[in-house]
Amino acid sequence: MLLKSLFKLLFSSDQQEKNLIRSLRNLLGFYPGNISVYQLAFSHRSISRETDNGVPLSNERLEYLGDAVLGAVVADMLFKKFPYRDEGFLTEMRSRIVSRENLKNLAVKIGIDELLQKEAAIGTYRSMYGDAFEALIGAIYLDKGYAKTQNFILERIIRIHVDLHEIEQTEKNFKSLILNWGQREKHSIVFETVEEEQKDRLIKVRLLVDDNEVAVGIDFVKKKAEQIAAQAACTTLGLL
């Protein structure tokens, strides 16, 4: 009851609620059961209010839950689709599918940008659409359970909006990604070789951002070690 009354402040009219139910029916392929949990999924922290016990009323907790459910569904799907590929390949594919950039693009494709309730200019929160996408997954899970959520992800997201073959064929240049980020955000990016390249010897590369070590890459080939370090740094800095 408390949750519903609080949401009356955020979604003030019955007509707004009816419009949301209609939009969700088109988006999900089924009618929502507990509309309040979806209202929460589309409540960005820029409009959050606190409950009586001081908990912010925003989609951040649902985002956490949705991230875990989405990761599990995608991991299971990839495991079955690519039975002869190793763990490294599966991990990389999953990372690309659930990356911040890809989730943001998916959110815009399915219209989450139009449903998100916020008081923030575009660009203020770089990942708010991708976060809302994960929060929606969390809401579906709470409302309908795992099987229904899995079906939504696989049939209405992956099958329609994700080209697995294209993702598989795309080799991401993490070094270029972090160098472009450094140039754009005015950060110094340095790849420092710790051990000189020698035949049949592992090479260690440190990646420094503003003279601070952020990641390390190790390989027999210097360029590959740099890519490993760059990928780790991109993950740490939230660029993926």
Give the model confidence (pLDDT) of 31-55 as tens digits. Answer: 999 998 999 998 877 766 655 455 6
How much is the pLDDT for 212?
Answer: 94
How much is the pLDDT for 144?
Answer: 96
Which of these is catalytic: 17, 60, 63, 67? 67
Residues 134 and 102 both lie in one domain: yes
Alpha-carbon distance 42 to 34, whole Å? Answer: 14
* Domain CATH for 142: 1.10.1520.10
Residues 139 and 217 both lie in one domain: no
Give the count of domains, the chain. 2
Residues 58 and 142 both lie in one domain: yes
Mean pLDDT by 10 residues, the chain (240 residues): 45 72 89 91 74 67 95 96 87 86 91 80 67 95 96 95 84 80 91 72 90 90 87 86
Most distant CA pair in the chain: distance in Å? 71
| Domain that includes residue 189, residue range | 174-236
CA neighbor of 217 nearest in space, from 235, 239, 238: 235
Residues 127 and 193 both lie in one domain: no
Beta strands in 12-127 (DSSP E): 49-50, 56-57
Amino acid identity, position 240: L
Residues 137 and 46 both lie in one domain: yes
Residues 186 and 162 both lie in one domain: no
How much is the pLDDT for 235?
Answer: 87
Residues 117 and 161 both lie in one domain: yes
Residues 163 and 209 both lie in one domain: no
Residues 210 and 94 both lie in one domain: no
Q: Which of 110, 145, 169 is the last residue of a domain?
A: 169
How much is the pLDDT for 95?
Answer: 84
Burial of 234 (0-12, 13-18, 19+ CB in 10 A): buried
Q: Which of 149, 169, 189 is the last residue of a domain?
A: 169
Alpha-carbon distance 52 to 62, whole Å? Answer: 19
Residues 193 and 128 both lie in one domain: no
Q: Does the active-site annotation cover 67?
A: yes
* Domain CATH for 197: 3.30.160.20
| Contact partners, residue 109, CB within 8 Å, separation at least 6 | 161
Which of these is catalytic: 63, 131, 134, 226? 134
